[in-house]
Structure 1
Amino acid sequence: MVYLMDRYPIYGVLSPLTGNISGGANYKRWYKAPCTPGHINSRPPGVQYWNGNIALFCGMIRAEIIKDVGLLHEEFFICGNDDDYNDRVRLSGRRVGVALNVYVEHLHSATKNKVFPERAAIKERHKKLLKLRRQHRAQTGDYKA
């Protein structure tokens, strides 16, 4: 992914492909099954713009993005911090992308509901917070907020 970040400076955040989460980083969105991690990792380097949100469980963030938009907001904790950060990266003029030749196995997705049984309530609260932040950013142009 370092190679891709160097080659495509417009991307502020890149995510590897994985199989255990939904969204843009799920390898099934980009490759027809059956597909092995070894197959993905042996592909030529490539990156795909993604207009949805990517999970940052193993993402790569440019240092200048952190300077421009700040760190993840702690108030989100789980269920929303990725979405909020994706928004801020885009508002800074950079893209969010998926590295099509990098696969990382993500095992914790299968257990997150057991670890955080209150996850559904947290997710609902964070959806409301994210909506308020998006409205504020639209009105003020302050993408660090």
Structure 2
Amino acid sequence: MSKSALVCVTHNNCDTLIRCLESVFNNTSAPYHLFLIDNASSDPTPGLYTQLPSTATVVRNTANRWWAGGINQGIRLAGDDFDHVFFLNDDIEVPKRWLERLTNLLDSNPGIGAIGPLNSNPNDWQCYDRVRTEQDIGSLLPAAPEIDRRDLAAMDALVAGQNDPPGVTIQGMLAFFCTGLRREAVAKVGLLDEAFIMGGDDDDYCRRLTRAGFDLALALNTYVLHHGSVSINRMDDGVRAEFKRRNLARLAEKYAETSEAGA
């Protein structure tokens, strides 16, 4: 049976991290090991680490290496011992059998380099209702207006029955709140670009995957809660604006020829 490396990066998000870890430890039955990268948390987060099971390894950085830097640390730690690498935000909650569903789709479709689930966050394009109303594949998902989108068990029961098809390839990008990658794809494409801070890294990496010949896929049978933007919302508006400017400039620099070709 295949085994997955789960890489989660955290920084001063103790409340959401607790819920994230509880859901991962309680709801993950497929083989995995969690690499938790702490970017110099100064809140109560470090107190959690004495309670973690043997399926987790913690790295405590003395400085904030940001999300991409932390993910790269996890990739290096995982090495070649795993079939898949999953990037997890610390503000998600996963349902039972989430990992089995995503890895089954990866294992049965060798052309897929990365796959992500549906989610609850209206700011993400992978939000259940946004996929229903804004994407060509929306007809594959029922409306289900009576279900609270924050009710993970109910939404999970709904989408787990969506097995025809359980996943579809997509154009564009996956948001990296909960994304699984084939180990061969990571080996071919390489590490994340650490020039991106709090955004842009997922867009960049998905472009690199596509250029390397891999497909991107959305799992229609997997749903996670994504509280969304917990870390960045604590920042000053000016800092957020500067990060966004720098990230957009980096994307423009790397993909100038793409923009020119589409002009």
> Within the alignment, does 1:98 sit opposite 2:200 as a pair?
no
2:132 aligned with 1:3:
no
Q: For 1:71-110, what aligned pairs fall within 5 Å after superposition?
A: 71-107=191-227, 109=228
Q: Percent of counterpart pairs with the same letter?
A: 30
* Structure 1 alignment gaps of length 5 or more: 139-145
Consecutive aligned runs of 4 or more in structure 1 exceeding 6 Å deviation:
none
User: How many aligned residue pairs are there?
Assistant: 136
- Counterparts of residues 33-52 of structure 1 (less than 5 Å): 33-34=144-145, 36-44=155-163, 46-52=166-172
1:57 matched to 2:177: yes
Instruction: Calculate the TM-score normalised by the size of structure 1.
Output: 0.83
Separation in 1, partners of 2:229, 2:196: 20
For residue 135 of structure 1, report the CA deviation from its aligned partner. Answer: 2.8
Alpha-carbon distance in structure 1 between the residues aligned to 2:229 and 2:188: 33
TM-score, length of structure 2 as denominator length? 0.48
In 1, the alpha carbon distance for the partners of 2:160 and 2:245 equals 36
Is the 2:197–2:247 contact (alpha carbons within 8 Å) kept by the matching residues of 1?
A: no
CA distance in 2, matches of 1:37, 1:112: 26
Who wins on radius of gyration, i.e. which is larger? Answer: 2
Structure 2 unmatched runs, 5+:
1-101, 132-137, 148-154
> 2:233 aligns to what?
114
Aligned amino acid, residue 92 of structure 1: A
2:68 aligned residue: none
Tell me how far apart the structure 2 counterparts of residues 63 and 136 of structure 1 sit (CA, whole Å).
29
Q: CA 1:40 to 1:116, structure 2 compared with 1: closer, same or farther past 3 Å?
A: farther
Structure with the largest fraction of strand: 2
Distance 2:184 2:257 in 1: 23
**More contact order relative to length (CA 8 Å, sep ≥ 6):** 1
Give the letter aligned to residue 243 of structure 2. I
What letter corresponds to residue 38 of structure 1 in structure 2?
A: A
Q: CA RMSD in A?
A: 2.1
